[in-house]
Structure 1
């Protein structure tokens, strides 16, 4: 089991990174709530990982904190939730926001996530309520989604910001139509890829 990696961040393309650990490049997928807490390429960083072995692939999922990884592991134990859906859920809201939804039976927010229909949301609330009851959450409303990237920070917009945003949303399970509509709705000329993705996600949740 690979549980933790520390090395130099070589590449970032949401939701994937390439991390150089002692000369070995590890490809890792992260939920966006973790992805946008990473430093710039060339910097050293540490991530906590969950290793999945399938017949056709070996996959690494990464997280900034043990708490996020722990919630991911609880999610994939739920009936009908695999690693991809768990990654999508934790890209659409923070770990604390998800726990808040479960403990407050907030199905209406959960069903706005791609891949989470009403039955899945109801099942998540039922199955995970007891598992998460001791996590402890604040009463912060779940309306403040994805505020990890500083809204006041200025980033020079890359030429491919819109394409990067569309690619990230498609990778998380949103349809081409959903992603295109959300990006078009929120995009501004001064937005970076990170800001555009976050704003698009906020508009859909």
Structure 2
């Protein structure tokens, strides 16, 4: 099984990339999240999931291990194939998927195109116990934006403000002001509520 690819990026598209590894070009299916993280890089490292079927061998590549882990957990659920898994990973980040499952939030999972109520409930039932053993920190991406967002939402929850109330405000602050500090995000969010 191919667990990772490190090489020169030859082509990149929102759905796939071609990576040259020692003179061999690998076609790697990627999520929109990964596309956003690597589109300007020349040398890349993909953490891969290698799917072997009777008629094909398919590589799915991710910019970080958390994204690959969540993808592998999702496709282990009966009725969720690789296309649905990639759609979920492209729509929601690993932390959002983890929290939706942990909080039994089927609505968040249903916000993904192609995921209906029954599939969302099946994902929650099948993965809640598996993911409950893992800590929140395992689902925080290495990017400072996601760390600040996660920490701000956690701090606001401690202050008694629900995630539903604050999430959109926090995301807008982080998007509009990329260099914003955690303290500033919390203070500005409190002002806007």
Same fold (TM over 0.5): yes
In the superposition, relative to structure 1, how do residues 127 and 146 fare at CA in structure 2: closer, same or farther (>3 Å)?
A: farther
Check conservation: 1:34, 1:64, Cα contact below 8 A.
yes
Which structure shows the higher helix fraction? Answer: 2
Alignment of 1:106-121 (within 5 A): 106-121=105-120
Partner SS, residue 37 of structure 2: coil
Larger Rg: 2
Shift of 1:56: 2.2
Partner of 1:103: 102
CA contact (8 A) 2:12 2:39 kept: no
What is the alpha-carbon root mean square deviation over aligned residues? Answer: 2.5
Asked whether the 8 Å contact 1:48–1:69 carries over to 2, the reply is yes
Matches within 5 A, 1:67-106: 67-106=66-105
TM-score by length of 1: 0.67
Unaligned segments of structure 1, at least 5 residues: 154-205
Alignment TM-score, normalising by the size of structure 2: 0.71
User: How big is each residue's C-alpha offset from its partner over 1:120-175, in whole Å with a ceiling of 9 and x where there is no partner?
Assistant: 0011111110011133335734755999xx6679xxxxxxxxxxxxxxxxxxxxxx
34 and 105 in structure 1: CA distance in 2 versus 1, 3 angstrom threshold: same
User: What are structure 2's unaligned runs of at least 5 residues?
Assistant: 137-149, 154-162, 179-193
Structure 2: distance between partners of 1:84 and 1:75: 11
Residue 28 of structure 2 corresponds to which residue in structure 1?
28
